[in-house]
């Protein structure tokens, strides 16, 4: 199992000159792909690596063991960035990197319940309930009303069959009891989406529904909003904030906040448009296909 870091060259380019990089926060450490490249390229960098997933953090600790004197590892949610920084002994940092969403290592672990390709419990909590206690995907699927489920699947999944899937879920749980596994949910989704539409779809018919559930379970938009509120106060003058987003709502939030930071005279976006993956990367790494990179440079 590997997680190939997305748009690594673009991120590194935004960090240059490497010699000047001294204190970096990787707020979504994952398996440490971006962090490793940063530590290798920036000889003077100390890095604070945050992840809310204890099992992923353990993998990153192992992979980055050669740099252990230059890394502080933190189990936590980036929405608590201020207190995590303070535990590490800092009140600000020079560079912040956030590669949002989920790691391939999480998707490819059937027991975590993130994937429509494997069977496992419908869980999807990135923090496994250890950082914040939140609902599991099964809690949502089995307790939310049809209207709430429809709204969720539309908002975070942009699924054209949101209503049909929500209705099928509610019928199924009334008839046969709770839906507890990924396989059961996939079966319900397949039964709700008309066969011709399924044949025409580019991705798996359950992809959008699983995405919506994952975003909700982990309160991904709420965490991002909290983080964006904090960043201008904790980024040093001349510092940089870099985001890799995979969802149009996330990208819009990042864009809007960067625009308001610029309007407040705090600095300027590093590129006029978001960067997108090269043809070559798209071919090598399917996960990069919806990625967008935005950077913001705070005024020195
Ligand atoms: C796309 S992966 C990062 C991959 C990493 N850049 C690499 O190259 O290996 C996203 C990681 O961020 C973590 N994550 C997502 N949201 C988070 C949050 N709000 N706070 C802390 N970690 C989060 C996930 O657990 C996952 O491991």
* Beta strands, E only, 177-261: 235-245
Ligand 1 centre and the CA of 147: distance in Å? Answer: 31
Residue 129 binned pLDDT confidence (cut-offs 50, 70, 90): confident
Q: Ligand 1, atom 10: nearest CA belongs to which residue?
A: 102
85 within 8 A of 91, measured Cβ to Cβ: yes
Mean pLDDT of 282-286: 91
Mean pLDDT of 145-165: 97
Ligand 1 centre and the CA of 184: distance in Å? Answer: 27
Q: Please check the confidence at residue 155 and state whether its pLDDT lies above 60.
A: yes
Domains of the chain, each with CATH number or no CATH: 8-105+220-298 (3.40.50.150), 135-217 (1.10.150.170)
Rounded to an integer, what distance in angstroms lies between the CA atom of residue 108 and that of residue 1? 7
Q: Please check the confidence at residue 1 and state whether its pLDDT lies above 70.
A: no
Q: Which atom of ligand 1 is nearest to the CA of 79?
A: 19
The percentage of residues in the chain with a pLDDT greater than 90, rounded to a whole number, is: 91
- Structure tokens given for 239: 């510092």
Rounded to an integer, what distance in angstroms lies between the CA atom of residue 123 and that of residue 127? 11
Residue 286 binned pLDDT confidence (cut-offs 50, 70, 90): confident
Q: Is the CB of 115 under 6 A from ligand 1?
A: no
Q: Which atom of ligand 1 is nearest to the CA of 244?
A: 1
291 within 8 A of 6, measured Cβ to Cβ: yes
The percentage of residues in the chain with a pLDDT greater than 70, rounded to a whole number, is: 99
Residue 141 binned pLDDT confidence (cut-offs 50, 70, 90): very high
Q: What is the predicted pLDDT for the residue at 123?
A: 96
Q: Which atom of ligand 1 is nearest to the CA of 77?
A: 20
Mean pLDDT of 197-205: 87
- The residues near 139 (Cβ < 8 Å, ≥ 6 apart) are none
Annotated binding residues, written as ranges, equal: 32-34, 51, 78, 99, 106
Ligand 1 centre and the CA of 269: distance in Å? Answer: 23
Q: Please check the confidence at residue 297 and state whether its pLDDT lies above 90.
A: yes
Rounded to an integer, what distance in angstroms lies between the CA atom of residue 132 and that of residue 274? 32
Q: Ligand 1, atom 20: nearest CA belongs to which residue?
A: 77
Residue 134 binned pLDDT confidence (cut-offs 50, 70, 90): confident
Annotated binding residues for S-adenosyl-L-methionine, written as ranges, equal: 32-34, 51, 78, 99, 106
56 within 8 A of 31, measured Cβ to Cβ: yes
Mutation probe of ligand 1 site: the residue of 52, 132, 217, 287 with most atoms within 8 A of C-beta: 52
Q: Is the CB of 287 under 6 A from ligand 1?
A: no
Ligand 1 centre and the CA of 28: distance in Å? Answer: 3
List, for residues 233-275, the tens digit of each pLDDT value: 999 999 999 999 999 999 999 999 999 999 999 999 999 999 9
Q: What is the predicted pLDDT for the residue at 133?
A: 65
Ligand 1 centre and the CA of 234: distance in Å? Answer: 20
List, for residues 4-52, the tens digit of each pLDDT value: 999 999 999 999 999 999 999 999 999 999 999 999 999 999 999 999 9
Distances, alpha carbon 218 to alpha carbons 52, 102, 221, in Å? 10, 10, 9
Q: What is the predicted pLDDT for the residue at 15?
A: 97
Q: What is the predicted pLDDT for the residue at 287?
A: 86
Mean pLDDT of 122-141: 90
Q: Is the CB of 49 under 6 A from ligand 1?
A: no
- The residues near 49 (Cβ < 8 Å, ≥ 6 apart) are 26, 29, 32, 35, 57, 60, 64, 71, 72, 73, 74
* Beta strands, E only, the chain: 23-26, 46-51, 71-75, 93-99, 235-245, 267-269, 292-298
Ligand 1 centre and the CA of 79: distance in Å? Answer: 12
Q: Is the CB of 33 under 6 A from ligand 1?
A: yes
Mean pLDDT, all residues of the chain: 95
């Amino acid at each position: 199992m590997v997680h190939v870091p997305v748009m690594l060259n673009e991120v590194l380019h935004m960090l240059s000159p490497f010699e000047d990089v001294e204190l970096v926060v990787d707020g979504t450490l994952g398996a440490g792909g971006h962090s490793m490249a940063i530590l290798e390229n920036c000889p003077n960098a100390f890095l604070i690596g945050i992840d809310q997933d204890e099992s992923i953090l353990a993998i990153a600790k192992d992979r980055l063991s050669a740099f252990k004197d230059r890394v502080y590892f933190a189990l936590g949610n980036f929405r608590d960035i201020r207190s995590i920084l303070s535990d590490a002994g800092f009140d600000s940092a020079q560079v912040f990197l956030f590669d949002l969403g989920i790691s391939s290592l999480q998707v490819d672990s059937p027991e975590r319940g993130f994937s429509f390709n494997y069977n496992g419990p419908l869980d999807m909590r990135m923090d496994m309930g250890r950082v914040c206690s939140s609902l599991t995907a099964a809690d949502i699927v089995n307790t939310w009303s049809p209207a709430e489920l429809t709204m969720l699947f539309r908002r975070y999944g942009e699924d054209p069959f949101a209503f049909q899937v929500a209705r099928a879920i509610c019928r199924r749980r009334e008839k046969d009891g709770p839906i507890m596994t990924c396989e059961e949910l996939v079966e319900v989704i397949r039964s709700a989406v008309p066969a011709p539409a399924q044949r025409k779809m580019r991705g798996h018919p359950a992809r959008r529904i699983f995405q919506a559930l994952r975003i909700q379970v982990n309160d991904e938009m709420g965490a991002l909003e909290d983080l964006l509120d904090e960043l201008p106060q904790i980024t040093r003058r001349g510092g940089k904030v870099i985001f890799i987003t995979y969802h149009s709502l996330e990208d819009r939030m990042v864009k809007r906040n960067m625009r308001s930071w610029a309007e407040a005279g705090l600095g300027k976006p590093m590129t006029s448009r978001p960067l997108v993956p090269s043809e070559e990367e798209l071919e090598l790494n399917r996960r990069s296909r919806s990625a967008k990179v935005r950077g913001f440079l705070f005024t020195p």
